[in-house]
Amino acid sequence: MSTLTRLGLPLCLVLSATACAEPAENPQNASNTASAVSATTQAIKAKPQESSKKWQWQTVAQGLNHPWAVAFLPDGQFLVSERSGDLRVVNTQGQISAPTSGLPKIDVGGQGGLLDVVLDEQFAQNRRLYFCFSEPGNGGNSTALAEATLSADKRSLTQVKTLFSQQPKIDSSAHFGCRIVLTPQYIYLGMGDRYSEKEQAQKLDNHLGKIVRLQRDGSIPADNPFAKQAGARAEIWSYGHRNIQGMTADSQGRLWMSEHGAQGGDEINLIEGGKNYGWPVITYGTDYGGGKIGEGISAKAGMEQPLYYWNPSVAPSGLTFVGNNPYGQDWEGNLLAGALKFGYVARLKLEGTRVVSEEKIEVGERVRDVRQGSDGFVYVLTDSSNGKLLKLLPQ
C-alpha cells in the first residue's frame, strides 16, 4: 500500500498539490472574530473578476514534464525545474535540453520532486543557483535546500551543497511547500506541513508548516525570533502555515506568500518574523468532504489574519510582483498569483498592503509558476506531463 493511500489523501492531492472541491463558506465564531481581528488587519475575501481584455499567450516551449519553476538566464535562455526530478535549459527557439547532471538524490512521487529554483543575483559572475527538493532519508523524506554552480555549457551542476534539511522527515508524498526568496543577506524557504502532520505547524520544535530564515551560507542568523528559545528550532522565521506554494519579496524587502487551504481558505499573507499564521487552529476553509477543521474558527488572539483569501479554493501557485512592464502603468506594483485549480493568473491590484481588486487572466491550463522575466514580460509554467512555458503578450 502506498504512503498516500495509508494517509487517506483525497485523489486530488494524490495527483497534484491543489485544492479538492468548492466548499461552502466556513462558519465563523463571531465572538472570537470580533476580539481577535485588529483594526488594521482584516481578511478580505477574494472576488475574482473576468478580464475585460482578451489576453493572448505565446508558447515558448512545450513538452516539459510537470515543470515547477522557471529562472531567467542572462543570455535570454530559461532554466526550468521539473517535478519529475530533472533540471533543463530551454533556449530562445523553445528547444529543451537533456537533463542537467549533478543533482542530488531526489525522492520523486506525489507532490515531491525537484521544485523551486532561483539564480544568485551575481549569477552572471559566479554561476551560483539555489534549488529545493524532496530529500529522502531515515523516516521518509522532507524539503531540502541546496546551492550549486551551473557549468558554462549548462550541462552539469558542480559544488552542490545542501544548506538546510527540514526536520523531521515524514513518510508522506504531500505538502512539501518549497519556495525560495533571496535577499542580499538572507535566504527564506517556505515549507508545508506534510499533510498528515498539520498539528506540528503550531509547534516550534520542528520545521513543518514553517518559513525558515538562513544566512546566505546556510548558517542561522543570531537575531532569528526563536534563536534563543529553548526547545525551538533556531531557523524558524514564522509558523502556522499549511502548504506554501508562492513566495516573493516586494520593493521594500517585505516577504509575501501564498498558501493552500483545504476546501477554501487559500491565503495571501504578508510575513513578519516570529508571527503565528494560525494553521490549523484558524482557517477560512473546511475539511475535505465537508466539516470543520479544529474548532471551526477563523480568528483567534495571537494569530495573524491573511490579507486576502479565496473561498472556493483556486490552489494558488507562483507569486511575483510586477515592475516595469509592457502591459501598462496600471500593472506597476501589482501582485501576480498563479491558480492551479481554475487555470488562470490572478492580477491583484494593491493599495498599500490591501488587495483592492483581482483580474482573472485566463490561461486554460493549470498554472504552476508565474514570474516576470528580465525582459519585462510575464511568463508562466503549466502543470502537466506536456507542460508549457508561456509568455503573456501585451495588448
If one counts the domains in the chain, the total is 1
Residue 388 lies inside a defined structural domain of this protein:
no
93: number of Cβ within 10 Å? 8
DSSP 8-state symbol, 316: E
Residue 330 lies inside a defined structural domain of this protein:
no
Reported for 344-349, long-range contacts at CB under 8 A and 24+ positions apart, including other chains, are 344/48, 344/314, 345/370, 345/378, 345/380, 345/392, 346/46, 346/48, 346/314, 346/316, 348/268, 348/308
Cα R_g (the chain), whole angstroms: 20
Residue 211 lies inside a defined structural domain of this protein:
yes
Regions of the chain with pLDDT less than 70:
1-41
pLDDT tens, residue by residue, 119-140 = 999 999 999 999 999 999 999 9
Residue 122 lies inside a defined structural domain of this protein:
yes
- CA 301, CA 312: separation in Å to the nearest integer? 25
Q: What is the pLDDT of residue 41?
A: 67
Residue positions annotated with a catalytic role: 175
Residue 51 lies inside a defined structural domain of this protein:
no
**Burial of 303: CB neighbours in 10 Å, binned 0-12, 13-18, 19+:** buried
β 344-351/44-45 pair status: unpaired
CA nearest to 67, candidates 118, 113, 136, 98: 113
Residue 155 lies inside a defined structural domain of this protein:
yes
Residue 137 lies inside a defined structural domain of this protein:
yes
Q: What is the pLDDT of residue 272?
A: 98
Range of the domain at 271: 3-28+64-307
Residue found under cell 506536456:
386
**Do residues 297 and 32 make contact, with C-beta atoms less than 8 angstroms apart?**
yes
Q: What is the mean pLDDT of the chain?
A: 91
- CA 176, CA 335: separation in Å to the nearest integer? 23
Residue 209 lies inside a defined structural domain of this protein:
yes
- Strand order of the β-sheet with 308-310 is 44-45, 308-310, 266-271, 255-259, 244-249
Supply the CATH number for residue 23's domain.
2.120.10.30
**Do residues 374 and 77 make contact, with C-beta atoms less than 8 angstroms apart?**
no
